[in-house]
Amino acid sequence: MQPTADSTILFGPRDRPWSTEWHRDFRDHIEEAPWEEHLADKWGKTANNFNFWNQVNCPLYEDNSTWYVPDSFQRVENTMQESELYGSTTQEILRDETNEQSDEALELFCLNYCQAMPGAVQLVLNPGDFCIYRNIGWHIGNYVPYRKRMTLHTQCDTADFLEFREQYFNLLNARAASLEKHRS
């Protein structure tokens, strides 16, 4: 595990509901040109390295905000339905950045988007549970302000994963990568 000092606590939103996009960590947060140049040809092997990509959530309060597509971590290709769902909305809409929706409408919109992913399951974590998951599989966080959330969050570290991150994490640019994917 990472040292405690490098762990984080995930809080619920203060004001409004929102959801992340459905995504696969790392792969979906790099723009296409650097991806092709640096990682595309070695991604299959890297994604399936079990010394990498293991994240941990330990809730202090009941936490049902994470959804996951079981087994999706075992393949690097997306199905057509997964790609279509990803393209059906944007991070800007899921955050209602233009402030057009009521809180109730936004909550329902985000929930429908979570539920529409083929095969998705909602994780229900009780206080003290230990959840470890492959974060290169499809997952999402869906949040509402009326549910108290404090969840310890970290990752399982290994020497070779640390080396990989030092080499490639400068390629991460999540917002730009998301915008690019929605243009294509």
From 68, 17, 5, 24, select the one nearest 177 (Cα to Cα): 24
Calpha distance 51→61 (Å, rounded): 29
Specify the residue, 25 or 157, whose C-beta has the smaller distance to Fe ion. 25
Show the tokens assigned to 168.
């490639």
The least CB distance from residue 27 to Fe ion, in Å, is: 11
Q: How many CB atoms lie within 10 A of CB 59?
A: 24
Of the pair 25, 103, the CB lying nearest Fe ion is at: 25
Write each residue from 6 to 35 as x if it is in contact with Fe ion (CB under 5 A), else as -, in one continuous string.
-------------------x----------
Q: How many residues bind Fe ion (CB under 5 A)?
A: 1
Smallest gap from Cβ 23 to Fe ion, in A, equals: 6
Complex with Fe ion: residue 22 or 144, whichever CB lies closer: 22
Q: Residue 55 interacts with Fe ion (CB under 5 A)?
A: no
Provide the minimum distance between the beta carbon of 25 and Fe ion in the complex, in angstroms, as a whole number.
4
Cβ-proximal residue to Fe ion, closest one: 25
C-beta of 25 vs 129, nearer to Fe ion: 25
Q: How far apart are CA 110 and CA 142, in angstroms?
A: 7
Q: Which residues bind Fe ion (CB under 5 A)?
A: 25
